[in-house]
Amino acid sequence: MTNWKQGGWTGSLNAWVKHEIQDHFRTNAAARRNRYAPLTRLIHGIFDNATFGRVIALYASIALLIGVAEIALAAHLPQAFFGWTGTNEVKSLLTNVASYLITAQVGVLGVVSIAIGLVTIIAQRENASTDVQVYYHESLAFGIVASSIALIVVLCAQLLWPVQSTLHWLGFGTGLQLFKLILTALHITWLILNLSATARFVATTLAFVQQKAREALRERYTTNVVLPLEMRKRLREQLYLGAGPELVKEFWPTATKGWKEPTVWLGTNFSNVGEVEIPFTPGNRIALYDVRMAWVRWAVGRWLTRCQSIKPDQNKKPIGGLSEKPFLVFPSRLDDTAEIHSGLCRRRGGVPLDWLEKVALRWAFKFTRTGDDA
């Protein structure tokens, strides 16, 4: 039986698979040899999913949070202690620092753009389209460009300090430059982070033009990107499809008087056999991305136990050639758009799910929107 404790207290399917993959990489010698170093994993974690919109949204949230803090503390700031931040020297420094940061970031962005163009041309001449994909990922090219452009936009906008200017216009501002200094420190930290990623970008670019180094890049990409994705896909599907029969073996005795062995399936439709026990909200385009298996186990196990407490109707004829044994199915497939008319859960035979089991199952299956309502 699968030990769902590895998925946390909810038995999350995704968390279980993540834990299993991490264990594999810790014990596999070949995987450990090509595994990213902790610092490299950190940089990839920051830049792999960085897009211009996400970076701007994150910065805007921080700037607004600092603006709210300025409103809350404007009347309580110790003017004597922070008075030096309101001097002309500090105001001049803030303006100069911003211009220096813009110049440095524009220069870095130019180097990145030229390098990407040259490497792409080299790879195309050698008909190595896969190598280009490997290079883009290993060099963090997309994330660096997105972060660099976002920083330039932010620095240009902050020459006017729009949030602080608005606060002054509304009468909530302060003559101190403390909060501008905090944002400037954030800008400098952001630039340093971009420069660190650019250093890795340059190292990867120089290595990419060498055949042996390119082979090493392929191995690292396969170990850290391709294999985890493939393992995650296969493990999730295998665990999800196999969970139903496991639950039957766990909660249904080998010999239950009067009943034939029940059927419980996850991720299988069976041509809409049975009646919808838990419906979906009509019109939602959603896809299943995680299942809290500890909650499914509790609800389905409780249902199977309650089925054993009643006697089956021996006079009821089979429907469509199928016996009236307890039958429970969850049609939704992982990562596929759910068929709304099929419902979240269908049942035939046995006892109806009670309200507590339905609530647990609704919370157990986690969906995400895939588009506009149809």
Interatomic CA distance for residues 110 and 189, integer angstroms: 20
Distance CA 90, CA 188 (A): 16
pLDDT value, residue 373: 46
Q: What is the largest CA-CA distance in the chain?
A: 94
pLDDT of residue 359: 94
Q: What is the mean pLDDT of the chain?
A: 81
Q: Residue range 321-335: average pLDDT?
A: 79
- pLDDT the model gives residue 75: 60
Give the C-alpha separation, 194 to 47, whole Å.
9
Q: Specify burial of residue 36 (Cβ count, 10 A radius: 0-12, 13-18, 19+).
A: middle
Predicted confidence at residue 322, as pLDDT, reads: 42
Q: Which of 3, 16, 1, 5 is nearest to 236 (CA)?
A: 16
Structure tokens of 296? 């499914």
Helices (H), the chain: 13-27, 29-34, 38-47, 52-73, 79-82, 88-125, 129-139, 141-157, 162-169, 178-208, 211-221, 227-251, 293-308, 355-364
Under DSSP, the state recorded for 322 is B
3-class DSSP state of 206: helix
83-114, pLDDT tens digit by residue? Answer: 444 555 556 666 678 788 888 888 878 777 77
Q: Which of 110-124, 136-150, 333-347 is the least confident region?
A: 110-124
**pLDDT band per the 50, 70, 90 thresholds, residue 286:** confident
Q: What is the pTM of this model?
A: 0.72
Looking at residues 275-279, what average pLDDT do you find? 90
List Cβ neighbours of 280 (8 Å cut-off, separation of 6 or more): 286, 338, 340, 343, 344
**Domain range list for the chain:** 48-209, 233-369
**Can you tell me the mean pLDDT for 155-174?**
76
Nearest Cα residue to 249 out of 304, 184, 204? 304
